[in-house]
Chains A and B, each alone.
Chain A
């Protein structure tokens, strides 16, 4: 078990050597992830681990991969997708052009879910989906649109629960344990690296989704990120967070109107 003070040393070193700032990340989660990696890789003393991180940039990449939580699903929380399908897409449909941003998109399962819904609503041709993450490895997976075949049963159930009526398996080709999603879906996706801790707004969007990313951030960083979204969101645009996340500690909620119980807010001014 690493000590708290060791975790702080690691955070400082990562910042000093690589410029990445984990200082505002939730310590409970970070500590658990670092501990896990430390034991997985068989380190027996903390300074051995620290010097590996400092001196071996490939190992640093592994560290980033392993301590950021990249778990994601297609159509996770089907009721959320149902609301997007029935209440948000029809409102966005009136626009000549629709810009979306998935911040913290991980391996892209959410992005492909969104593309499927846009296609079914007849909106994909006039949409552009930006999908960003700090982890370059997950972005590579996302670009390929290749997900494990064994997940498809669960995803197709989620899809149906979210109101999907097509044959879910028509969206991918199954091959040797993988499901490769149709290129048509990826045509309107732009993947790039973007760090919510330090990077700025890069466009104006009609719909920003950032689900299950803020739970890893402390209050100050959440405030920064929500304000970054605010600066990137068109008036009457929508912001969606994870089912347990909120904007209420970060920004004046008079600017935003929440869609009933959902974690979706509309920017009203």
Chain B
């Protein structure tokens, strides 16, 4: 018997980053015009405190509105979402975000792998995963999952990354669709908004 897979038809761009990625984000977001045809989700390794400084910074720098992620918030096109500190960020089939306090993965919570894998299950070929600078291995497994689900894999060019280890590790272990500098990532994201 064929099982029926209900995959959301929302389009999602998910960006993961660790050490050095905030700089890349700040090269991309300020020049990214307001977009309408996808949701942008940002998962960065951050300090485990309960403050909202990252959300506030991104709100300040981005042209598109940032929506805070809380329990039972639904993903919508045309907004930026930031994974909150000290929770893993998961995705439900009906586009609701789900938060989870389980063990750190790759010493991180939020973990990029966890979010990428969960997003891949729901958004499949409607998903673009972008991995930025960092100095650990988080993100590689997640990109593999995105690739297997038919999504597009973009990795920051390690030459342009403050911390090249994380993107290099991902390039070694996946077959990325694109390897891009932050300026090229910006152009790429602009090109998919239609």
Chain A residues close to B by CB (< 8 Å)? 3-5, 26-29, 32-33, 69, 71-72, 76-80, 212, 214-216, 219, 222, 242-246, 249
Contact = CB atoms under 8 A, between A and B. Distances in A.
B90 A244 contact: no
B100 A214 contact: no
Given A28-B118, A32-B90, A246-B71, A71 B50 contact: no
B31 to A, nearest CB: 30
B70 A69 contact: no
B84 interface: yes
Interface stretch (B12-20, B37-45, B91-99, B178-186): B91-99
Contacts of B87: 215, 244
Contacts of A242: 71
B92 A28 contact: yes
A3 B3 contact: yes
Given A28-B90, A28-B92, A244 B84 contact: yes
A179 B101 CA distance: 23
A32 B93 contact: no
B53 interface: no
A244 B70 contact: yes
18 contacts: A4-B3, A26-B92, A28-B90, A28-B92, A29-B100, A29-B102, A32-B118, A33-B102, A69-B102, A77-B50, A79-B50, A215-B71, A215-B99, A215-B101, A216-B100, A222-B72, A244-B84, A244-B99
B72 A219 contact: yes
B145 to A, nearest CB: 9
Contacts of A5: 3
Interface string B64-98: 00000111100000000000101100111100001
B93 A245 contact: no
B114 interface: yes
B101 A71 contact: yes
Secondary structure call for the B interface: loop
A12 B41 CA distance: 33
Contacts of B194: none
A214 B70 CA distance: 11
Contacts of A76: 86
Contacts of A245: 70-71
A72 B118 CA distance: 23
B103 interface: yes
Given A32-B114, A80-B50, A212-B101, 13 more contacts: A5-B3, A26-B98, A28-B100, A32-B100, A69-B100, A77-B50, A78-B50, A214-B71, A215-B71, A243-B84, A245-B70, A246-B72, A249-B72
